[in-house]
Each structure stands twice: as structure tokens, then as C-alpha cells.
A = this chain, B = another copy of it.
Amino acid sequence: MANHLQQYKLNGFKMKHGGVLNHAILAYETWGVLNKQKDNAILILTGLSADSHAASHDKHETAGWWEYILGDNKAIDTKKWFVICASSLGSCKGTTGPCSPNPLTKLPYKFSFPDLSLEDIANSAYELIQSLGIEQLKCVVGPSMGGMTALALILQHPKATKHMINIASGCHSEPFSTAIRSMQREAILNDVNFNDGNYSSEQWPTQGMKQARKMGMLSYRSASEWKERFPRSLRQRPHKPFGIEFPVEAYLEHHADKFVHQFDPISYLYLSRAMDWFDAYDYAQENESNPFLHVKLDTALIIGAKSDLLFPESQQLEIAQLLNGTNTKAQVNFTDSIQGHDSFLVDKETYSELVKKYLSNL
């Protein structure tokens, strides 16, 4: 456990699909100061491969995955807000997951880790904020998987937060996105080094993880961005037949190589499947009726990128329309960012402005 991480201990934590976690840990980081009324807290729920280190802070100066948006005088202004970000349950980034030791056997859980749902991730984060004495969040902020997890939070704990920023997510995964994630999981499972989960750092499912990441990159970015980024004239003859030749291939290879050891393969499988399992409509009283009717949310900002292949505009529109069918006042914004699903990580100016404006009115 890196010493910049704080720990919350989960005991007797009941998982949605069965099983109980004991002596489990949620690793988290905080920014800013919780005020006396404890009503200035913002919870950030992360994307699949992100961790608690959303931005640099005194105890860990390395830039975080959302560095541009979080900090003093930034869009999520840590002079004003007390911000919490945990590594998702199951993600193994200091937080308990399939590669953590099972306290009963002292051996890594691997596939004996209970089935993981986004509801479990939301519930563990909810326990954490309650343990900090926070009765109600001012706002929950969730991009990508974090956006779905934010929905899982408010659906299960209708008063958990007054406001929500939900970015690049949806009420459930569309078949196209599920297909991509399914192929990513298959690439990992099929790698001979995966060995039914009995891989080691010496026998790592490198190929499968690389393929999974490349398929991810394909779905996270957009065709139009790549068209600008990769001039065809840069093509080079490969060193071996069918080796890397096109600029986009070198780009994918670079990102895949970086990712291989950044994430635990079984954790990836569990989190990826959790995204495909999530369905806000599971909370509807009747088939296809509005699942958010019981939710007590004042306002919501829903953001989508028009270039997002993984969570298309119709999905953000659906969230906004459903919320507006309740007592929540939801606004939806579609950005022209060309970076696809990843726009919230890349198009700093656009997302900073939207988030800053919304939070400044709370």
C-alpha cells in the first residue's frame, strides 16, 4: 500500500450477486478540507482502468489521471470542495480485488472473488463517505464506468447526493460496446499465459492484455481524430513481414505496451463484465418505466461527446430525459470534442468549462 493512499476497511460487505467480503480495503485519496457542516464533499467515481490518484496532492506529487480538472482554482476547486476518489472495488490498485489475498486462505482470490457489480463499487464508496461523517454528498462526478457507477449509487441510495455530473456513460451498455468488451475479455482469457488465472509476473498474459488495450483504444478514440493524427505519408516498411508499418499501428502498440502491467488481468475481466451487467432499468418498478422515480437528486449535468462510439449521444440523452421525468433538473451537453469516449480526459478546455460552470452554481 503506497503511503499516499488512505484505507477504509470493509467488513461483512455484502456483494450484490452473493458472497461477503471481510478484511477488504478500499484505497482512497482526498483533496481539500471537509467543512464543519460536512456538506462540501464531492465523490469522484472512476473509469475502468483509473485509480484513486485523480490528481497530484501534497502526499503524492505525480500527476493524476484527471490532473487538469481537479486542484486549487481548477474546475473541481479543491479550495472550495472536499474531494474523495477511491480505487474501485475489484481494481487491485490498493483496493481489494481478485488478485488480493483471500483472508481465509491467504492466497489470491483469483476466480473465487465474488461476482462484482457496479452496485458493489457504488456501495463500497457509499460506506466510505459515511465513515467520513458525510451524510450527503454535494455532488458525485462520474466519467465512463464511473458515470454508470454514479447511477448505481443514486439508484440504491436515493439521497446519497444532491447533485451529479455524469460524463460519457449510459443506463446500460449497448450491444456494440458489450461486443467490444467481450472481445477484450476473450483476448485475455485466450492468452496461453493467462492459464486459467494462474499467471505470474514471469508468465504474464502480455499478448491478451495488449490486444484488449488496442481494442479499447479503438473504442475510446474516434476515426476523425485518427485521420488528423496519422498522415498516410508516414508509412514505413516493417522490420518483419506483417510487422508494424502504419503510424496507427505504432500508436496502438505504444499504448498497449504501456498498459500491459498497469492493470491486473483478472481485475480487468471482473470490472469489464460489471459494466456489461449494469442496467439502470433493473430498478424500474415496471418494465421500461422510469427507474429514477425514487431518486432525490436536485440537479444533474449530463455530458456526452458527439464522437463517442462506446456511449453514443442517445445514451446521455436517455439519462437526462429519465431524470427530467422526476423532480431532478437535468441538463445535457454534447461536446464537439473529436477524441471520442476519451474526450473528458483530453479536451481540457471544454470539460473544465462545463464542470466549472455547473459546480460554481451549487
Contacts and interface: CB of A to CB of B under 8 A. Distances in A.
Interface of A: 111, 172, 174-180, 182-183, 185-187, 189-190, 192, 207, 211, 214-215, 217-218, 222-223, 226-227, 229-230, 232, 241-242, 245-249, 252, 269, 273, 276, 279, 281, 309, 312
Contacts of A178: 246, 248-249
Nearest to A197: B241
Nearest to A218: B179
- Number of this chain's copies in the complex: 2
A215 B252 CA distance: 16
B174 A223 contact: yes
A226 B190 contact: no
B187 A246 contact: no
B246 A180 contact: no
A294 B205 CA distance: 52
A175 B276 contact: no
Given A175-B230, A175-B246, 17 more contacts: A172-B232, A174-B226, A175-B223, A175-B229, A176-B218, A179-B214, A179-B217, A179-B248, A179-B249, A179-B252, A182-B246, A183-B211, A185-B242, A211-B211, A223-B309, A232-B279, A246-B276
A180 B273 contact: no
Contacts of A241: 111
A223 B176 contact: yes
A112 to B, nearest CB: 10
B189 A242 contact: yes
Nearest to A215: B183
29 contacts: A111-B241, A174-B227, A175-B227, A175-B229, A175-B246, A176-B218, A176-B222, A176-B223, A177-B223, A178-B246, A178-B249, A179-B218, A182-B246, A182-B249, A182-B252, A183-B215, A183-B252, A186-B214, A187-B187, A189-B242, A190-B207, A190-B211, A211-B211, A215-B215, A223-B312, A232-B279, A232-B281, A245-B276, A246-B276
